[in-house]
Amino acid sequence: MTTNADLRRVRQLLRGAALPALLFAIWWAVFRFGWTDTVMFVPIEKVWETAVRLSGNGYLWTSLGASLARDLAGFTLGSTVGFAVGIALGLSRLLENLVGPTLHTIKQISLFAWIPLISVWFGLGDTAKVVFLSLAAFFPVVLNTFEGIRSVPRELIEVGRVFALSPVQMLRRVVLPAALPSIFNGVHLALIYAWLATLGAEYLLTSGIGIGNLLTDGREHLWMDQVLLGIVIVGAVGFVLNFIANHIEGRLLRWRGTSTGQY
């Protein structure tokens, strides 16, 4: 049965699709009516033909699968470590005073500035890429988890003490549920940052197979259809990841009467 919330999501999706549809229509019209003849831009039909060809020989799916595998590995590792460190910092004033200043200093360093050090320590292969992606996912999770725990209302803590909850029970039943919106916000950001970093890692480290390699090959050979196809895929994957994260977040936070998902 269709609910009002489902209808709102459909309307939001349609509104969000309006601009991409307009851009694709302009793209088609530019070549349909002969408004340009530059070799640096190609008709949308040629990009579609390239997509069909690369899908047929499996290259596109292999590249996409390799990039998503790296993305998932880096996101999972970085988010897990960030979650654990964020909880530790949020629960311990001593640890915050010891580690917090260093952590806040390190987060100011550009992510791509770590690549020379990572390449020396871990080489140029998939291990280095996963470490790089983990770093991209780590900071938003650790900072949002820390802020979420520190923002738990004092009244909730007092209620837990009244019920004589143990430290573990206090964490599971009071602190983490209250901090969930902030934690999910960090995980959401980590998901997006990790995907963006995936392309950067495949560009700046040894590319191997992946969407970054597809883009690099297209640039080096001036295959603009392949370059544009890669850009479309990157945008589409980012949209899907964002949609999934919003949907999961809305479902899991529904019990709070809070759904922060925006499609």
Complete DSSP assignment for 47-107: HHHHHHHHHHTTHHHHHHHHHHHHHHHHHHHHHHHHHHHHHHHHH-HHHHHHHHHHHHHHT
| Per-residue model confidence (pLDDT) at position 260 | 39
The predicted model gives 69-73 an average pLDDT of 93
| Per-residue model confidence (pLDDT) at position 207 | 62
Quote the CA–CA distance of 128 and 201 in Å, as a whole number: 8
Q: What does the DSSP assignment read for 153-198? A: -HHHHHHHHHTT--HHHHIIIIIHHHHHHHHHHHHHHHHHHHHHHH
pLDDT digits (tens, 9 = 90+) for 185-240: 999 999 999 998 988 888 877 667 888 888 888 888 888 889 999 999 998 898 88
The predicted model gives 66-72 an average pLDDT of 92
pTM for the full model? 0.81
| Per-residue model confidence (pLDDT) at position 64 | 92
Q: Band the pLDDT of 263: cuts 50, 70, 90.
A: very low
Break the chain into its structural domains and give their ranges: 41-256
CA separation, residue 152 to residues 73, 149, 166, 211, 252 (Å):
31, 5, 17, 41, 18
Quote the CA–CA distance of 161 and 156 in Å, as a whole number: 9
Mean pLDDT of the chain: 83
Top mean-pLDDT range of 91-100, 139-148, 196-205, 247-256: 139-148
The predicted model gives 79-89 an average pLDDT of 92
Quote the CA–CA distance of 90 and 230 in Å, as a whole number: 41
With a pLDDT cut of 90, the percent of the chain lying above it is 25
| Per-residue model confidence (pLDDT) at position 258 | 44
| Per-residue model confidence (pLDDT) at position 3 | 64
Does the structure show a pLDDT above 60 at 41?
Answer: yes
pLDDT digits (tens, 9 = 90+) for 132-189: 999 999 999 999 999 988 888 888 877 777 777 778 887 888 888 888 888 999 999 9
| Per-residue model confidence (pLDDT) at position 33 | 73
Q: What's domain 41-256's architecture? A: Orthogonal Bundle (1.10)
Q: Band the pLDDT of 6: cuts 50, 70, 90.
A: low
The predicted model gives 108-125 an average pLDDT of 85
Quote the CA–CA distance of 107 and 100 in Å, as a whole number: 11
